[in-house]
Amino acid sequence: MATLDKKNCKYAACYCEENVYHLCATLVESGQAKDLDKLFVIFISNPNKKVPLFRQQASTAAEGLVVWDYHVLLVQLESDAAASKGPQPQALVWDLDTTLPFPCEGTQYAKEALQATTLLLPPDFARFYRVVPALLYLEYFCSDRSHMKVPPWRPRAPHGFNSDSSKSESESGGGCDEETGGYSWSSPPPPWPPIQPKNSCGVPQHNLPCYWSLDPSLCCGTQALQETLQGRVQGGANSMLQHLGKPSEGQSEQKGPFDDFNCQRKQAEQSGHGHQDFRESRYGLVVSELDFLRFVLRLHL
């Protein structure tokens, strides 16, 4: 099967979260992935919004270095990764912003883009990863692009180079209408419409901060990560849909207790799970770099 050409993918510079959203669908439609079960959206960031990545096409520095506030890519696991070679297939990394092959073997990406085996990062630049099943990302992600709007009282600076552009309007004191308030864009918006929620269960119009918020205190254990990855590959989408209270194949589309967000919270609390824990499930799991390399990219370290 021919590899997907980058030129055939939707792309807008500095809107990696939207690029990856559309890439998920493109991979399935093109036959590069048989389904979404083996695709995982990966957010890379840290509390300081300073994460170094190499071999980035936006860079003019040595080795293609960019210190992003956050970055988003896609990982494809094992059996669907037809381009993988060798006795034990690796994960494939689909990064629309890299100068590395598209897709790229996990080993090569870890070595050249992350420099994970040779680079000792200072604590302020340590990378953390949010691992989100693509199915959930397509279901819940939404963005009004407010994080890319620059009020007239703030200097214009592009996303990715450690400006304050990673903040949303609510965080930076915005709120006036773009046209009447004199907003400009830190980077030109994509030509397609903003991604809006597909449901009405209380998901905000802009939940991007829920994905880029990465902190060491949020890191899950290795068992939870393994169960998530194995459950997605072996159990498929149905198990995750049932966890969220949505009917799986063969079940009727009748109204259930999870049809609105308040009912979701109530049932979660009754079952002994905190509201925050239950709500966070739709945003995936936060893991350390070591666990990302070992369990997501399947590297032997």
pLDDT for the residue numbered 199:
63
Tell whether 34 is covered by a domain.
yes
Residue 25 is part of a domain; what is its CATH number?
Answer: 3.10.620.10
Tell whether 216 is covered by a domain.
no
pLDDT for the residue numbered 288:
93
Identify the weakest region by mean pLDDT among 32-36, 90-94, 286-290.
32-36
Tell whether 189 is covered by a domain.
no
Q: Is the pLDDT of residue 244 over 80?
A: no
Q: What is the DSSP letter of 194?
A: P
Residue 219 backbone dihedrals phi, psi, to 5 degrees: -60, 135
Of 78-87, 152-161, 288-297, highest mean pLDDT: 288-297
pLDDT for the residue numbered 36:
83
User: Is there a cis peptide before residue 103, judged by omega within 30 degrees of 0?
Assistant: yes
Tell whether 83 is covered by a domain.
yes
Which residues participate in catalysis according to the annotation? 16, 71, 95
DSSP bridge partners of 52? 67
Tell whether 13 is covered by a domain.
yes
Pair 163, 89: CB distance under 8 Å? no
Could you give the CA distance from residue 93 to residue 101 in angstroms, rounded to a whole number? 9
Cβ-count burial of 287 within 10 angstroms (0-12 exposed, 13-18 middle, 19+ buried)? buried
Q: What is the DSSP letter of 56?
A: B
Its pTM stands at 0.76
Q: What is the DSSP letter of 39?
A: E
DSSP string of 216-285? GGGBPPHHHHHHHHHIIIIIHHHHHHHHTT---TTS-----TTSSHHHHHHHHHHTT--HHHHHHGGG-E
Mean pLDDT computed over 2-17:
92
Percentage of the chain beyond pLDDT 90 is 47
- 44-66: pLDDT as tens digits: 999 999 999 999 999 999 899 99
Pair 50, 17: CB distance under 8 Å? no
What is the C-alpha radius of gyration for the chain, rounded to an integer number of angstroms? 19
pLDDT for the residue numbered 266:
39
Tell whether 208 is covered by a domain.
no
Q: Is the pLDDT of residue 16 over 50?
A: yes
Range(s) of the domain holding residue 44: 1-138+284-300
Contacts of 238 (CB under 8 A, 6+ apart): 248, 249
pLDDT for the residue numbered 80:
53
Which tokens go with 109?
């990406």
Count of structural domains within the chain = 1
Tell whether 12 is covered by a domain.
yes
* 77-89 per-residue burial string, b: 16 or more CB within 10 A, e: under 16: beebbebbeeeeb
Tell whether 69 is covered by a domain.
yes
**What rounded mean pLDDT belongs to the chain?**
76
More confident residue, 145 or 281: 145
pLDDT for the residue numbered 87:
52
